[in-house]
Amino acid sequence: MSIENLSQNKCFDGWLKQYNHQSSALNCTMRFSIFLPPQVNDGAKVPVIYWLSGLTCTDENFTQKAGAQRVAAELGVAIVAPDTSPRGEDVADDENYDLGQGAGFYLNATEPPWNTHYQMYDYITEELPALIEAMFPVTDKRSICGHSMGGHGALTIALKNVDKYQSVSAFSPITNPMKCPWGQKAFTAYLGRNTESWKAYDSCELMKEAKATLPMLIDQGTSDDFLKEQLKPEALSQVAVDMGYPLELRYHNGYDHSYYFMASFIEDHLKFHAKYLT
């Protein structure tokens, strides 16, 4: 494995570092950021929280806006923030923000031209953790969280891989993509028109089939412009009730879809994961 360090900044006595590497899963160069807490300076290995960002974002949105590093430093956890999709001149794209580069939806595309590069599910669940655990002072204990499209990714990945994660959380996730415009557009392009194949990447459908559970926390702002049409947390909440799944869904009055919302409650999420990681 080979990685290229692009930048590093000392932060709360830890280090925020950004890297490039050649991804075999995505067939392109990928970028990620990692925050290493100060505990690693004394030779300790620490658990990892994977953060998945939303539409149009890169690894930098979370590291620059969420204010997570102070709490991660106190808790002794690393945070890994990958990019949201494959990128490059030869990577398929679309003129709209909700498809193509910046909108990978954390799935394995089966339809051309997307299937050449858009294998984000394999990248997040297999290739990236293997690289992180080989190259950095971390343990194999992982949790996962995300925002919006990244919340969809975190939930679906955790529901499909309960053996790989200790806990899962999300801000404003797309919980029922089969029944919202963002999901229907992306799934049609990436997976084709057979909606049965879509169920493998829909949190509501996956929770119905869950054989085991993970601690799950979701925060949702009531003033989120995408709440009713795109996010549909009430759908997942109803499935959780029906299936007896331990979902904690919290609504926050007046909060929107922005990073101001995440910055307000990121400490809760990091402490939630730390309970199960440390």
Known catalytic residues are: 148, 224, 257
Tokens of 41: 């300076």
**Single-letter amino acid, residue 44:** A
- Which residues, other chains included, contact 42 with Cβ-Cβ below 8 Å and sequence gap of 6+? none
Q: Phi/psi zone of residue 76: left (φ > 0), alpha (ψ -120 to 50 degrees), beta?
A: left
CA–CA distance, 277 with 54 (Å, rounded to integer): 24
Alpha helices (runs of H) in the chain, residue ranges in sequence order: 59-65, 69-75, 120-122, 128-135, 149-160, 181-191, 203-208, 233-243, 259-277
Residue 140 CA to residue 49 CA, distance in Å, equals 11
Phi, psi dihedral angles at 40 (to 5 degrees) = -70, -20
How would you class 42 by CB atoms within 10 Å of its CB: exposed for 0-12, middle for 13-18, buried for 19 or more? exposed
Single-letter amino acid code for the residue at 125? T
**Paired tokens of 33:** 């950021």
Distance, C-alpha 105 to centroid of its chain: 9
Question: DSSP letter at 99?
Answer: S
